[in-house]
Structure 1
């Protein structure tokens, strides 16, 4: 099929949470190119009209924060019901270039004909963390960082959700995002599951997406770390431990997380204001993982 055929089978999923007008403008821009479904996890229900969303956008207000995994699943199922083959996934603050919007579905359309591919995504550019981040492969005790250079797709072990293009034809076999994780490691767990099923995860190094991880970052011994709220640290540590307890997660990834965890606990306890609350929430998350308490806190 042609690239145009791939574009005609592509839709977008955007997840909202307390969106501002800039978020609405970004969603409306996407709707000029593709069918768009916006899933809103804001606790108060509003209408698409009151937000100023384009009439062409399918708006799904949840009236509760159901988590990123559930919201993505809702959006994907809507696109699958419409017969779409590919879905571009975005956070509300993602502002993709036209090159990315056109390039990812075109690449997916080209490669799926000869190879089982689940996901293709760009490199992400967070200027606060030093610019364009490398792609990642799992190795024992340390991640292998692959420079995002060249004009060929790169096999990787996982991609962040925002800005990625998912092959919806593999969705029934791989399954939906894991609702129990709520937020954090949702993308990583799905990518691992897809690879375990024999599907490839591919990075497109010539495409980038501006994306900010967490809040204002901190520097420790020359390295920059993204900072999060205490509640996010609950989910980060809970889900990391919960996934380490699963047999289908790679031992290489588990070993890396085990090595990093003590240092992260120290950084998040000492550096942010009210670090004690961050440490408390992180330990609470670890305890909940060990007792199998998942879902929303």
Structure 2
């Protein structure tokens, strides 16, 4: 079912060609337009452009300059608004929706004051975080990731869109926080599942041992040891910087997602897991310094 006022938006940055095909094959039949923002197509732009232009309802915007995820998302939302769309499903380039995702999420668009409708997220690699079947069919939540967020375009624009200063990381946390502060709702349709890979992960050597021990001890921390997460020094810089920035921006409306305690915990965890610890420590220090001096965007 295609609704004329519904769109999807994908930010492209060095996408995997096959996964992008899967994503487009899944979403293009469900919406009027799929807007793809070119933040840089990588080493094979010709092949990717060929794929993008095989779909009659895919519209490519952006010139290949990486302007950051937040600014790219703002461009997608604004283009959808200009084309008369009312709701947009934001997706990561490697997220593949089910065939009834839009129809299922759209059933809740008439809910009072709803700004975002989202699905449950399933990362099949994170065996310690299985999909829950105990949740109510529909529930109000505080935050959700960008991928799979079915966003009301007018309400998104009314709160100022995404904070372009963040560039990458915590972009979704920040807009969810601002949406809630503005009196709007974020609701999750728990019957809809989105297959999405969160971060670069690999199973640990003793995956099954840690899963079993975590279940026996009722410990999420032990279960998390079942997989290893790769620490990217550049991403650690942005996470650190953005946590400090958001702590300053929302000093009167603090949020535990970017509290000083979480910043310390994330820094220690990243240093312990990462390979080049000196580089990681330097990036944390620089991130803290830069986060303290960024101009705040309201």
Short-chain TM bin: 0.7 to 0.9
1:81 aligns with 2:78: no
Equivalence for 2:3: 7
Conserved 8 A contact 1:133-1:148: no
Q: Which runs of 5+ in 1 are unaligned?
A: 135-146
Equivalence for 2:125: 128
For residues 127 and 166 of structure 1, the distance between their equivalents in structure 2, rounded to whole angstroms, comes to: 25
- Corresponding residue pairs, total: 274
| Alignment RMSD | 2.8
2:125 alignment partner, SS class: helix
Equivalence for 2:150: 165
**Which runs of structure 2 are paired with 1:92-241 in the superposition (5 Å)?**
92-108=93-109, 110-111=110-111, 115-130=112-127, 132=129, 149-216=134-201, 222-224=222-224, 226-241=229-244
For residues 41 and 100 of structure 2, the distance between their equivalents in structure 1, rounded to whole angstroms, comes to: 34
CA spacing shift, 1:218–1:50, aligned 2, 3 Å: closer
1:250 aligns with 2:253: yes
For residues 163 and 231 of structure 2, the distance between their equivalents in structure 1, rounded to whole angstroms, comes to: 22
Deviation readout 1:22-76 (Å, 9 max, x if unpaired): 2134224422221111111006795798432223311113321111111111111
2:80 alignment partner, SS class: helix
CA spacing shift, 1:133–1:121, aligned 2, 3 Å: farther
Conserved 8 A contact 1:123-1:204: yes
Equivalence for 1:52: 51
For residues 170 and 293 of structure 1, the distance between their equivalents in structure 2, rounded to whole angstroms, comes to: 25
For residues 43 and 8 of structure 1, the distance between their equivalents in structure 2, rounded to whole angstroms, comes to: 29
CA spacing shift, 1:226–1:278, aligned 2, 3 Å: same
Shift of 1:93: 0.1
1:21 aligns with 2:17: yes
Q: Which runs of 5+ in 2 are unaligned?
A: 205-209, 211-220
What TM-score, normalized to structure 2?
A: 0.82
> Equivalent of 1:283, from 272, 282, 285?
285
CA spacing shift, 1:159–1:249, aligned 2, 3 Å: farther
Deviation readout 1:95-145 (Å, 9 max, x if unpaired): 01123232112222x31xxx11110111111133336578xxxxxxxxxxx
1:127 alignment partner, SS class: coil
> Equivalent of 1:37, from 28, 35, 38?
35
CA spacing shift, 1:32–1:17, aligned 2, 3 Å: same
